[in-house]
A and B are shown apart, each in its own frame.
Chain A
């Protein structure tokens, strides 16, 4: 992929050498290296990727929340995509944690761009980013009382009337 020859194998080798057991479930769907780590390690990992002279992964492409209700004890997650602009190599990092304790350290101290993305993840999934300077809703109405992308809530609007059918339901 890259002219300097930074491959997925080298990236994985590099981070496994530093973080060892904390890196798990490495695979490459569609050639995009994906690893899972823990929320205790995530900021250290991002900082390492940012500062490492070989990797130079210093661009947070995107981050978002996710909800898998069937994964008991690991229901909620946050996914980070970091990119090395020098090598044109991308890495996807996932962390998962229980829905009862949705607290994740903030990445805003490393990436200013994480500010709004963390607000979005908070808005839709109720993930609390510890240390975030301004963790309020970003897209939904301010007086909304729940986090709508969590799968315990219906996607449809409950006040819709024209689709109600006495025989077939909605």
Chain B
């Protein structure tokens, strides 16, 4: 159960700010889009499985359509040829959207310091949470997801309309 936010409680009513309620709702039903390209994807499968069970955090529905996804989880090496596809998937997601880069390759290119590999997905899309490791353990993935939950919970409802956010997207050349 999720604790109720701060508010004024009385007989038959409860008053709080809409922002808190929306934040709680969003953070406890983050639908992830697993963009798994290599061994980090295997580790994510363990995270999805019954032992670690990502469903405990409201993410039991991996959305394989970007249009219904809230969280893009990029897990694995992204080759330069794959980069436009990652970007297209990100562009197809509707706001609010979060991005989680899992593993050394997605964060920085990892050991693949070579002409054919994208040196971190933050070259093409904005990233909210980075999970280090090669590959990270499921516990780390869960911790990363909880960081995203924390972001979702505390995000201002107007953030996505702010000039800073528009500027951020514009710097990645995303409409």
Footprint of B on A, CB under 8 Å?
Answer: 139-141, 148, 153-157, 159-163
Contacts and interface: CB of A to CB of B under 8 A. Distances in A.
A93 B108 CA distance: 41
B114 A157 contact: yes
Contacts of B119: 157, 159-161
A140 B81 contact: yes
Interface of B: 80-81, 108-109, 113-117, 119, 123
Nearest to B82: A141
Given A157-B119, A162-B108, A141 B113 contact: no
Given A140-B81, A141-B80, A141-B81, A163 B116 contact: no
Contact of B113 (A139, A140, A153, A160): A160
Ranked nearest first, the 7 interchain pairs of A and B with the lowest CB-CB distance are: A148-B115, A156-B113, A160-B119, A141-B81, A141-B80, A157-B119, A162-B108
Contacts of A148: 115-116
A157 B81 contact: no
Given A140-B81, A141-B81, A155 B115 contact: yes
B114 A156 contact: yes
Contacts of A157: 109, 113-115, 117, 119
Contacts of A154: 115
Nearest to B108: A162
A158 to B, nearest CB: 8
Contacts of A155: 114-115
A145 to B, nearest CB: 11
Contacts of A153: 115
Among A157, A159, A161, the one with the most B-chain Cβ atoms within 10 Å of its Cβ is A157
Nearest to A158: B115
B132 to A, nearest CB: 12
Contacts of A160: 108-109, 113, 119
A140 B116 contact: yes
A74 B117 CA distance: 31
Nearest to A142: B81
A140 B113 CA distance: 16
Nearest to B109: A160
Contacts of A163: 113
A153 B117 CA distance: 15
A61 B113 CA distance: 31
A163 B81 CA distance: 23
A148 B108 CA distance: 21
Nearest to A140: B116
A139 B116 CA distance: 9
B115 to A, nearest CB: 5
A141 B109 CA distance: 17
Contacts of B109: 157, 160
Q: Among the interface residues B108, B113, B123, which one has the most CB atoms of the partner chain A within 10 A?
A: B113
A161 B123 CA distance: 11
Contacts of B123: 159
A63 B113 CA distance: 27
A162 B116 CA distance: 17
